Amino acid sequence: MVKSRYLLVVFFFLMGIIGLSFSQVKVEPDSALKARLAKIDKGPAKIDVSKYPKEQQENYQLFTQKCSKCHTIARPLNCDFALPDEWERYIKRMMRKPNSGISSKDGKRIYEFLTYDSKVRKKDLYEKKLKEASELQSKEKK
């Protein structure tokens, strides 16, 4: 009887510790996230792609058609994503949204547009992030 009470006390103590550690995980509060998205959404909602290759102009049209179903086009155009892996994660997440209507083929074309656009229009950000990623990989190898 004493042993089972002891085990019960230990169990609840450990559950309390685990719960406390999960509560310490930093999650962006809804209000902060909403404010950040509101700021991004107020940026330009379209870009001039007339100097982009024809294929990228077509991909841009698909991007605006599909992505505007769920959020402003300004959101992906003005966010701080620039590297291919950032876009890949974002697009895959959007493809899983109910009623997104983004097929694998569409997702690939949207990815091609956003990565191309990042290298052209967000060139400074792209190069900065690329350099940071390269430096991080160098440190990890040491």
Q: Domain for residue 65, yes or no?
A: yes
CATH number at residue 133: 1.10.760.10
Query: Percent helix, strand and coil across the chain, each rounded to 5?
Result: 70, 0, 30
**pLDDT value of residue 23:** 47
Count the domains in the chain: 1
Which CA distances in Å does 6 have to 1, 13, 114?
Answer: 9, 11, 58
Other CB atoms within a 10 A radius of the CB of residue 82 amount to: 22
- Residue 21 inside a domain? The answer is no
Range of the domain at 63: 43-141
Q: Is residue 74 part of a domain?
A: yes
Burial of 124 (0-12, 13-18, 19+ CB in 10 A): exposed
* Residue labelled with tokens 């406390």: 20
- Residue 97: predicted pLDDT: 94
Which parts of the chain register pLDDT below 50?
20-25
Q: Residue 36 domain-assigned?
A: no
Per-residue model confidence (pLDDT) at position 20: 46
Say what the pTM is: 0.76
In a domain, 87, yes or no: yes
The residues near 107 (Cβ < 8 Å, ≥ 6 apart) are 91, 92, 94, 95
